[in-house]
Amino acid sequence: MTAKYEVHGSVAVITLDNPPINGLGYATRVGITDSLQKANADAAVKSIVLTGAGKAFSGGADIKEFGTPKALAEPNLLSVILAVENSSKPVVAAVHSVCMGGGLELALGCHYRIAAPGCNVALPEVKLGLIPGAGGTQRLPRALGVEPALNMIVSGEPVKSELLAQIPGQKLFDKMAASAESLAQEALAFAQAVSDTRPLPLVRNLPCKHPGGDAYFQFARNMVKGMAKNFPAPVKCVDAVEAATKKKFDEGMLFEREIFINLMWTPESKALRHIFAAERAASKIPDVLEDTPKREIKAIAVIGAGTMGGGIAMNFLNAGIPVKMLEMKQEALDKGLATIRKNYEAQVKKGKLKQDKYEQRMSLLSTTLSYDELKDADMVIEAVFEELGVKEKVFKELDRVMKPGAILASNTSTLDVNKIAAFTKRPQDVVGMHFFSPANVMKLLEVIRGEKTAKDVLATVMAISKKIRKTAVVSGVCDGFIGNRMIEQYGRQGGFLLDEGCTPAQVDKAMEKFGMAMGPFRMGDLAGNDIGWAIRKRRYQEKPDMKYSKTADLLCEKGRFGQKTGAGWYDYVPGKRDAIPNAEVVKMIEDHRASLGITPRKISDEEIVQRLVYALVNEAAHILEEGIASKASDIDMVYLMGYGFPIYRGGPMNYADQVGLFNVVQSMKRFAQNPLDDAKFWQPAPLLARLAAEGKTFN
Ligand code: NAI
């Protein structure tokens, strides 16, 4: 049963009971309408309380039903709300903890509302690229006032019930309960007190006006447009709320419905809903059951206090987990410690971190030069130089000193985690944790599953990544894992485009217009062009027939490694990140082009975007087929969280799905005809070819 029905004296109590947040799934909706009927048919019942069991009144739609026919099956939420409004006996919503989305819309349909303090109230639909679709945009402005309602609807952010109750003239809450504990009793008393009141008050009958009228809405629209650039939903929120002030209630409802349905079909909303599901799916590993027991992680050790080690340590300190950092020399420890301090102090200065919190975090950090002092750590993360020999020494030491059952993780970005595991006598405890730089900022964490990594180690690492607020995605072992393996093909296309006629700025601009946080050349300058150079040198040995543009090598030969050397594809002024095009670099590209006998051609932005994005997609299809990634949505999460792929496009795989895989393959066939490109690479990966032929999608 997902809705309980009880009668207390003359009051019927309907309690939503669909954990974890009393989602308004089909069974719950039926439960509500059945209970209402029962209450209305029972002469002993004079009034009704509607509330939620456990940790919520209701969080809204049931995400388990998303995209299934059940989500829309009758009674849908609109019908349920209508049934509540039409109840001949007063219905009192008793809200607490969480009252969001459809949950709030349901409460707004009730005749009265009593709230516990501390309840998070929100209409978060905008975060999925939608507007509320069950009357939220028409009833909330009537109940709360136009301006606060619009703020809530456009931001999607929760506001505490006690704050809302203080808004002058608000009719959202008829009463605030003294506490969450007393809510049930107070709701019963309230329901008894109003049992004979007629006519029953309805939010739909309240007046709705803004004194600023048209000017206010124009102003709101301009503000929202500026902030919500690539997303259509926020401006539509303004339209819908404006309709509440101008149209009759039922017309406003139809207007809301029409906007809602149109938004459902936009690529932006599809992308946001895809990400919502992808984020939840990422933590699920097909062969690791959710109830897999997890190891207890109370203390962390970090080996290496360099760029990555320091950032990694900060993640755990921020989560209140003690960290011990080990280095070879005291100076290195001092330097690492100073960097961590500097980072925190900058946050304090900006007002993002309180002084006492800063001190509390630093007090959780200790340092050592001796491996023997690591024996109490439950998990160690290695972030030393990227050389297998160095990793071997470190992991042999760790194997010697770490307690049995401790998790041994490596932050390696290119080395074989299976080889690293084999340096120990406990390969089942070894796993890769590939953080991205800056490790205390970037959301993405690739969790590298070795051949022998134990399931409970994986489950533990996924759980701890949630604690340190990372989006963790599992990758199998391969060169570059998911993200960097794909970016290599993207970068290679960037090189070909320069050879064929583009400038770095043209390519970057096209990609930034597409929505990437940064084009490939600015990204190279940020990450350091020497990193790609080192990888290419290795590739020239391993894969002599692989085709590369030589421009990036020429750039590196000039020592132009990027921001860190003040010069890369662009010039940089110290202390600033602006990329300033450099005429010499452009000349270098032109000279190289001429030396190859290539006549430059004008290349469209469309071709630039397609070649770079489809290069990601084709490599990703290989990655999926090889089982390196277990689902396409994981690949999307890697690119959204770690590589600045535009949120409103939902990741490369979602984007390709929306373009249509058949069209993607057709473009690849065209690129393969270009003699200056790599025809072999553009053979569609077998999985991609198959899906395209069958008219299917990745996701
Ligand atoms: P880094 O050079 O800034 O720091 C490495 C630190 O390790 C140095 O402080 C060094 O003194 C210390 N170290 C070296 N050998 C040691 C040993 N035997 N015992 C204890 N400490 C030792 O290097 P970075 O950039 O922090 O990279 C570390 C690891 O993280 C590498 O495996 C790298 O591939 C990986 N990584 C780096 C990323 C980056 O953007 N820099 C991104 C993701 C992973």
Query: Does residue 191 come out as left (phi exceeding 0), alpha (psi in the -120 to 50 range) or beta?
Result: alpha
Place of tokens 């259509």: 232
Give the residue from 297, 466, 458 showing the smallest Cα distance to 377: 297
Do the two domains 300-475 and 483-693 of this chain adopt the same fold? no
Give the residue from 503, 436, 478 showing the smallest Cα distance to 628: 478
pLDDT exceeds cutoff 90 at 229: no
The per-residue pLDDT for 65 is 83
Fold classification of 300-475 (topology level): Rossmann fold (3.40.50)
Catalytic residues: 105, 125
Mean pLDDT for 322-342 is: 97
Per-residue pLDDT tens digits for 10-27: 999 999 999 999 999 999
Q: From atom 36 of ligand 1, which residue's Cα is the shortest distance away?
A: 413
Atom of ligand 1 nearest to the CA of 391: 18
Per-residue pLDDT tens digits for 607-618: 999 999 999 999
Contact 407, 379 (CB under 8 A): yes
Per-residue pLDDT tens digits for 422-481: 999 999 999 999 999 999 999 999 999 999 999 999 999 999 999 999 999 999 999 999
> What is the DSSP-derived secondary structure letter of residue 365?
E
pLDDT exceeds cutoff 90 at 331: yes
* Residue ranges of domains in the chain: 3-264, 300-475, 483-693
pTM: 0.92
pLDDT exceeds cutoff 80 at 66: no
Per-residue pLDDT tens digits for 533-574: 999 999 999 999 999 999 999 999 999 999 989 999 999 998
**H/E/C letters for each residue in 466-489?**
HHCCCEEEEECCCCCHHHHHHHHH
Ligand 1 site-directed mutation target among 385, 470, 523, most atoms within 8 Å of CB? 385
Q: Does domain 483-693 have CATH number 1.10.1040.50?
A: yes
Query: pLDDT category, 576, cuts 50, 70, 90?
Result: confident
Residue 604: beta bridge partners?
none
Q: From atom 13 of ligand 1, which residue's Cα is the shortest distance away?
A: 384
pLDDT exceeds cutoff 80 at 285: yes
**H/E/C letters for each residue in 306-349?**
CHHHHHHHHHHHHCCCCEEEECCCHHHHHHHHHHHHHHHHHHHH
Q: From atom 14 of ligand 1, which residue's Cα is the shortest distance away?
A: 384
What gap in Å lies between CA 653 and CA 462, rounded to an integer?
Answer: 23
Per-residue pLDDT tens digits for 74-111: 999 999 999 999 999 999 999 999 999 999 999 999 99
* CB-count exposure of residue 135 (10 Å: 0-12, 13-18, 19+): buried
The per-residue pLDDT for 569 is 98
Contact 141, 123 (CB under 8 A): no
Per-residue pLDDT tens digits for 469-527: 999 999 999 999 999 999 999 999 999 999 999 999 999 999 999 999 999 999 999 99
pLDDT exceeds cutoff 80 at 67: no
Ligand 1: residues within 6 Å at CB?
303-309, 326-328, 332, 383-386, 390, 393-394, 411-413, 434-437
pLDDT exceeds cutoff 90 at 645: yes
Distance, CA 548 to ligand 1 centroid (Å)?
28
What gap in Å lies between CA 471 and CA 279, rounded to an integer?
Answer: 7
Give the residue from 47, 58, 42, 40 showing the smallest Cα distance to 13: 47
pLDDT exceeds cutoff 80 at 187: yes
Under CATH, domain 3-264 is a member of which superfamily? 2-enoyl-CoA Hydratase; Chain A, domain 1 (3.90.226.10)
What gap in Å lies between CA 254 and CA 664, rounded to an integer?
Answer: 38
Distance, CA 529 to ligand 1 centroid (Å)?
17
Tokens standing for residue 457: 């180690």
The per-residue pLDDT for 64 is 78
